[in-house]
Amino acid sequence: MTPTTPSSGHTHSGNAATLRSTAAPDTTGTDALAGQTVVLRPTGAQHVDAFMAILQHPEVAKWWGGYDLERVRRELLGPNSYAIELAGEVIGLIIFHEENDPDYRHAGIDIALHPDAHGQGLGADAMRTLVRYLFGRRGHHRIVIDPAASNARAIRSYERVGFRPVGVMRQYERGSDGTWHDGLLMDLLRDEFRG
Ligand SMILES: CC(C)(COP(=O)(O)OP(=O)(O)OC[C@H]1O[C@@H](n2cnc3c(N)ncnc32)[C@H](O)[C@@H]1OP(=O)(O)O)[C@@H](O)C(=O)NCCC(=O)NCCS
């Protein structure tokens, strides 16, 4: 996964796919996004403890290393971050970044679920929900994700949503063991999305 640098200046526009019932445009970045089962909730200070618990679990930390309190606050509470809720409980987090050079415009996503929630299709549900928002409301035509090449469950989950492997990026990221690991670049075009 790619460390996220939330783009500044982006706000979530109000839309019918959100949980808000008001028709007025929302420029405050406070809209929740409803999935089939999960809800993506804009983040705030109340999410820090849950995010820390998720990211420090060994099953997650091996893919999302190096997150301490300071980094969670800096990188995961921005306007492009959501808590993944299941029946009102925080079970994960999902974030996006945007490349807004018009000639290379695309978005990228990172996601982590608490291990108690793995393998039930909830990751795919959260991913579809954010993908729908990025294609439908933010006007993207291409979305990328870059799991470790050895992260078979993540790759399978992203394939369920429609992402395709582009290629292996050799020695792409440094793991918590200090060595360089291969990453798999995957992308999804708007026309291919199985929303
Ligand atoms: C990656 C992650 C978000 C996926 O979400 P999820 O809800 O667990 O995944 P889903 O249930 O949507 O899909 C998992 C798929 O992988 C399959 N799978 C599970 N374990 C697997 C394994 N070890 N090898 C291969 N496939 C596996 C499942 O059978 C399922 O495929 P299917 O529906 O065709 O049967 C979640 O597992 C997670 O947060 N993992 C830890 C952090 C992480 O790896 N983040 C991603 C960094 S890029």
Best residue for ligand 1 mutational test, from 128, 150, 155, 156 (most atoms within 8 Å of Cβ) = 156
pLDDT score at 175: 86
Alpha-carbon span 172 to 114, nearest angstrom? 25
65 — pLDDT class (breaks 50, 70, 90): confident
Query: Domains in the chain, please, with CATH?
Result: 33-143 (3.40.630.30)
The 10s digit of each residue's pLDDT in 126-155 is: 999 999 999 999 999 999 999 999 999 999
Nearest-atom number in ligand 1 for the CA of 125 is 12
Average pLDDT score over the chain: 87
Return the closest-CA partner of residue 186 out of 144, 130, 142, 123.
Answer: 144
Mean pLDDT along residues 53-71: 93
Q: Atom 14, ligand 1: which residue's CA is nearest?
A: 157
Whether pLDDT at 53 is above 90: yes
Whether pLDDT at 180 is above 70: yes
Alpha-carbon span 139 to 120, nearest angstrom? 29
> Helix, strand, coil % (nearest 5) of the chain?
30, 30, 40
